Amino acid sequence: MLVYEKDLKNLNVRLCPQCLERYTKPCAAVVVEEDSSGVGHIVLLRYATRGSVVFYSALRCCNSGRDWLGKLGSATDYGFPAPFVHDRDEWCGAFRVGHKALFDELFLHFLLLRYPKLSEQLLTECALRKAGCDLEAEIAMWQLCGDV
């Protein structure tokens, strides 16, 4: 369920060497954001809920001082899972890497309510273990319910 460096290298995009060097703890959900020069930057996401809305805090691996907040949309709202990482004029494309449920507001709202320790944490193996979350089982149950 985790996204490893080899998974990122299998994408059809030239990756930022600084991002690759700093991506040391594999996460379950990663966005690779392609800039105007065709270089892919690894963006890590931390999710949190405010009421019934799921927000994300995004951080590029190569720019540890710059992060931004965004609202996650439901796949049913847009026809595909978000996030939209930057303003559209700042990037050329984005690839979501990880299971599609990890980019869907409804699933993440459920997951964060069930495992509040995951709020505002990167979905790393360590964070999932500390929260007592078997992510594969949670996604499988969600799929059985017919929501993904």
pTM score of the predicted model = 0.82
* Predicted pLDDT of residue 128: 97
Q: Tens digit of pLDDT for each residue in 31-59?
A: 898 888 889 999 899 999 988 888 888 88
Tokens of 57: 């805090």
* Predicted pLDDT of residue 79: 40
* Predicted pLDDT of residue 82: 46
* Predicted pLDDT of residue 17: 95
Per-residue pLDDT tens digits of the chain, which is 148 residues long: 899 999 999 998 999 999 999 999 999 999 898 888 889 999 899 999 988 888 888 888 887 556 666 666 544 444 434 444 444 455 567 788 999 999 888 999 999 999 999 999 999 999 999 999 999 999 999 989 875 5
* Predicted pLDDT of residue 91: 55
Structural domain harbouring 77: 5-144
Q: What's the domain count of the chain?
A: 1
Contact 36, 70 (CB under 8 A): no
Q: Which long-range contacts (CB under 8 A, 24 or more apart) does 44-47 make?
A: 44/122, 45/83, 45/122, 45/123, 46/120, 46/121, 46/122, 47/72, 47/108, 47/112, 47/118, 47/119, 47/120, 47/123
